[in-house]
A and B are shown apart, each in its own frame.
Chain A
Amino acid sequence: MKDELSYLLGRTARGHISRRAFMGRAAALGVSAALANTMLAQAVRAEGPKKGGLIRLGMAGGESTNSLDPALAASEVPMQVSFTWGEMLVDVNADGSINYRLAEEVSSSPDAKEWKFKIRKGVEFHNGKTVTAEDVVETLKRHTDEKSKSGALGIVQGISEMKADGDMVTLTLKDANADLPYLMADYHLMIQPGGGFDNPAAGIGAGPYKITVNEPGVRYGFEKFANYFDDTIGHADQVEILVINDGTARSAALQSGQVHMINRLDPKIIELLKRSPGVRIEAVPGRGHYVFIMRTQTEPFLNNDLRMALKYAINRKEMVEKILGGYGHVGNDFPINSAYPMFDDTIEQREYDPEKAKEYYKKSGHDGSPIILDTAPGAFPGAVEAAQLFQESAKACGIPLEIKRDPDDGYWSDVWNKAPFCASYWGGRPVQDQMYTTAYLSTADWNDTQFQNEKFDSLLLAARGELDATKRKAMYSEMAHLVRDEGGVIVPMFNDFLSGVSDQIQGWEADPNQELMNGRAQVRCWLA
Chain B
Amino acid sequence: MKLHPVANLLVQRIALGLLLLLAVSVLIFAGTQLLPGDVAQAILGQSATPQALANLREQLGLNDPAHVRYFRWLGGVLQGDLGKALSNGQDIASAMGGRLWNTMFLAFWAAVISVPLAIMLGLIAVRYQGRWPDKVISAVTLSTISLPEFVVGYIAMFLLAVKYRVFTSVSMVYDGMSFGDRIHAIALPVLVLVLVVLAHMMRMTRAAILNVMQSAYVETAELKGLRPFTIIARHAFPNAIAPIVNVVMLNLAYLVVGVVVVEVVFVYPGMGQFLVDHVAKRDIPVVQACGLVFAAVYIGLNMLADVISILSNPRLRHPK
Contact = CB atoms under 8 A, between A and B. Distances in A.
B154 A248 contact: yes
A65 B85 contact: yes
B267 A244 contact: yes
B169 A65 contact: no
B41 A246 contact: no
The A interface is mostly helix, strand or loop, or mixed, namely loop
B31 interface: no
Contacts of A243: 267
B277 A64 contact: yes
A201 B88 contact: yes
Cβ-closest 8 pairs across A and B: A65-B87, A67-B88, A63-B277, A252-B169, A218-B269, A64-B277, A65-B281, A256-B161
Contacts of A153: 47
Interface in A389-429: 409-410, 412-414, 417
A67 B89 contact: yes
A216 B172 contact: no
B170 A58 contact: yes
B182 to A, nearest CB: 14
B269 A215 contact: yes
Contacts of A413: 37, 41-42, 45-46
A244 B45 contact: no
Given A217-B277, A410-B37, A413-B37, A65 B283 contact: yes
A65 B87 CA distance: 6
Given A256-B161, A256-B169, A258-B170, A249 B46 contact: no
A253 B280 CA distance: 26
Question: Which of A63, A67, A409 has the most B CB atoms < 10 Å from its CB?
Answer: A63
A249 B264 contact: yes
A215 B51 CA distance: 32
A65 B278 contact: yes
Nearest to A65: B87
B62 to A, nearest CB: 17
B217 interface: no
A256 B165 contact: yes
Contacts of A242: 170, 172, 267
Nearest to A63: B277
Interface of B: 36-37, 41-42, 44-47, 49, 51-52, 85, 87-90, 95, 99, 154, 157-158, 161-162, 165, 168-170, 172, 174, 264-267, 269, 273-274, 277-281, 283
A146 B50 CA distance: 12
B265 A248 contact: yes
26 contacts: A64-B99, A64-B277, A65-B278, A66-B87, A67-B87, A146-B52, A147-B52, A201-B89, A217-B274, A219-B174, A244-B267, A245-B264, A246-B265, A248-B157, A249-B157, A249-B169, A249-B170, A249-B265, A252-B169, A255-B162, A258-B170, A276-B162, A410-B37, A413-B37, A413-B41, A417-B46
Contacts of B45: 412-413
Contacts of A121: none
Nearest to A252: B169
Contact of A63 (B42, B265, B280): B280
A446 interface: yes
A244 B162 CA distance: 16
B140 to A, nearest CB: 25
A445 interface: yes
A45 interface: no
Question: Which of B154, B162, B165 has the most A CB atoms < 10 Å from its CB?
Answer: B162
A219 B99 CA distance: 13
A259 B46 CA distance: 35
B63 to A, nearest CB: 19
A153 B51 CA distance: 16
A245 B263 CA distance: 11
Contact of B266 (A64, A249, A276, A446): A249
Interface of A: 58, 63-67, 146-147, 149, 153, 201, 213, 215-219, 242-246, 248-249, 252-253, 255-259, 276, 409-410, 412-414, 417, 445-446
Nearest to A416: B46
B174 A213 contact: yes
Contacts of A67: 87-89
B46 A253 contact: no
Contact of B168 (A65, A146, A258, A409): A258
Contacts of B90: 216
A258 B171 CA distance: 11
B39 to A, nearest CB: 12
Nearest to A58: B170
B52 A258 contact: no
A412 B46 contact: yes
A419 B209 CA distance: 60
A14 to B, nearest CB: 26
Nearest to B90: A216
B143 to A, nearest CB: 21
Nearest to B47: A445
Given A249-B264, A253-B170, A64 B157 contact: no
B170 A259 contact: yes
Contacts of A410: 36-37
A258 B283 contact: no
Nearest to A246: B264
A253 B169 contact: yes
Contacts of A216: 88, 90
Contacts of A445: 46-47
Contacts of A412: 45-46
Contacts of B170: 58, 242, 244, 249, 253, 258-259
A63 B85 CA distance: 13
Contacts of A63: 277, 280-281
B42 A64 contact: no
Nearest to B158: A252
A66 B157 contact: no
Nearest to A418: B46
A64 B162 contact: no
B168 A256 contact: yes
